[in-house]
């Protein structure tokens, strides 16, 4: 039996205090967090943003992963990926699935929610509070073989596969609400995030300390400087340094990053409270993930 795949979010905003969106579904008579099934070929990240918009009327920016919830619906296994999601703009209107939306404090929202698994997701969200800092650490896309490129390696461009990966990343990355773009000064790195920069109408900031030949302590220091700035940054670098950076950031935290993979065209969603990393999500590829 094919499992049901879905995605949702703890949608939050700051008024006088942090408020959580809780929705009422008349079909089921329940109060829940916004969520819904993935469309064919849709990523869980795109599905979470789309479902929030469809059920609540609000456009959102994704933050850290809040984990996977699994249960059965009429005997069919269902899994829901949840994310923190900050309101960008919008307004609630009654729709086919939701007839009421309430903005509640986390404590009041937990009391209103119908299901224990929703309360568990909300509790995970509350562990670090809503306003964590997100860093999107991207490895450049495929750029062909080094020994087949006649020019300087710094100028080696993306291959056809790499351009496809860059196009996919340009759809994925904006779901997390970035506001600035950084890149190691390699043509293939800059090309990987150029579309994102153009969409944001910002320049790509060159980061010579983030090339794989730079001393690791210098690269780590620069990455921490970027994290300390407000907003959400995109940083594109190379496979020879990204795993070490991820492991280094995780050393003083309780976050398990495993083998710290860094596939070409992949992305790490790293979440911080101050300088401490509190979450790490590896996205192996930008499509169908």
Choosing from 127, 155, 190, the residue where a domain stops is 127
Q: Are residues 193 and 98 in the same domain?
A: no
Q: Are residues 259 and 200 in the same domain?
A: yes
Task: Taking residues 47-67, report their average pLDDT.
Answer: 97
Residue 277's pLDDT band (boundaries 50, 70, 90)? Answer: very high
Sheet holding 233-237, edge to edge: 204-206, 180-183, 233-237, 133-139, 267-273, 276-283
Q: Are residues 175 and 279 in the same domain?
A: yes
The predicted-structure confidence for 235-267, as pLDDT tens digits, reads as follows 999 999 999 999 999 987 878 898 899 999 999
Within a domain: 207 = yes
Within a domain: 91 = yes
Name every residue whose Cβ is closer than 8 Å to that of residue 223 and which is 6 or more positions away in sequence.
Answer: 135, 137, 210, 235, 245, 249
**Residue 185, burial from CB neighbour count under 10 angstroms (0-12, 13-18, 19+):** middle
Q: Are residues 17 and 92 in the same domain?
A: yes
Within a domain: 34 = yes
Within a domain: 289 = no
Q: Are residues 272 and 153 in the same domain?
A: yes
Contact 236, 139 (CB under 8 A): yes
pLDDT score of 252: 74
Please count the structural domains in the chain.
Answer: 2
The predicted-structure confidence for 91-122, as pLDDT tens digits, reads as follows 999 999 999 999 999 999 999 999 999 999 99
Q: Which CATH number fits the domain that encloses residue 181?
A: 3.40.50.1240
Alpha helices in 103-253 (DSSP H): 106-112, 116-127, 160-172, 187-200, 216-228, 242-250
Q: Are residues 146 and 114 in the same domain?
A: no
Statement: residue 289 has pLDDT above 60 = no
Task: Taking residues 138-143, report their average pLDDT.
Answer: 98
Contact 234, 180 (CB under 8 A): yes
Range of the structural domain that residue 62 is part of: 4-127
The predicted-structure confidence for 11-29, as pLDDT tens digits, reads as follows 999 988 999 999 999 999 9
Q: Are residues 168 and 222 in the same domain?
A: yes
Within a domain: 288 = no
Residue 288's pLDDT band (boundaries 50, 70, 90)? Answer: low
The predicted-structure confidence for 184-230, as pLDDT tens digits, reads as follows 999 999 999 999 999 999 999 999 999 999 999 999 999 999 999 98
Q: Are residues 162 and 224 in the same domain?
A: yes
Statement: residue 85 has pLDDT above 60 = yes
The whole-angstrom separation of Cα 56 and Cα 97 is 10
């Amino acid at each position: 039996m094919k499992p049901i795949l879905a995605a949702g979010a703890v949608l939050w905003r700051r008024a006088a205090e942090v408020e959580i969106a809780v929705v009422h579904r008349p079909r089921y008579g329940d109060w829940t967090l916004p969520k819904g099934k993935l469309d064919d070929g849709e990523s869980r990240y795109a599905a979470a943003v789309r479902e929030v918009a469809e059920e609540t009327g609000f456009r959102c920016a994704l933050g850290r992963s809040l984990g996977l919830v699994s249960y059965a619906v009429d005997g069919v296994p269902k899994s829901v990926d949840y994310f923190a999601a900050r309101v960008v703009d919008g307004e609630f209107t009654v729709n086919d699935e939701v007839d009421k939306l309430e903005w509640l404090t986390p404590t009041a929202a937990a009391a209103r929610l119908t299901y224990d698994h929703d309360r568990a997701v909300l509790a995970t969200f509350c562990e670090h509070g809503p306003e964590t800092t997100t860093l999107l650490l991207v490895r450049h896309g495929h750029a062909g073989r080094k020994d087949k490129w006649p020019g300087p390696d710094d100028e080696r461009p993306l291959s056809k596969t790499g351009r496809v990966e860059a196009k996919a990343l340009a759809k994925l990355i904006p779901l997390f609400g970035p506001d600035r773009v950084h890149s190691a000064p390699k043509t293939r790195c800059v090309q990987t995030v150029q579309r994102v920069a153009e969409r944001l109408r910002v320049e790509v900031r060159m980061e010579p300390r983030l090339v794989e030949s730079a001393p690791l302590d210098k690269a780590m220091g620069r990455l921490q400087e970027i994290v300390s700035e407000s907003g959400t940054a995109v940083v594109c670098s190379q496979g020879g340094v990204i795993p070490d950076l991820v492991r280094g950031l995780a050393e003083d935290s309780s976050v398990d990053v495993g083998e710290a993979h860094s596939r070409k065209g992949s992305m790490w969603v790293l979440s911080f409270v101050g300088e401490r990393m509190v979450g790490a999500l590896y996205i192996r590829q930008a499509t169908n993930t």
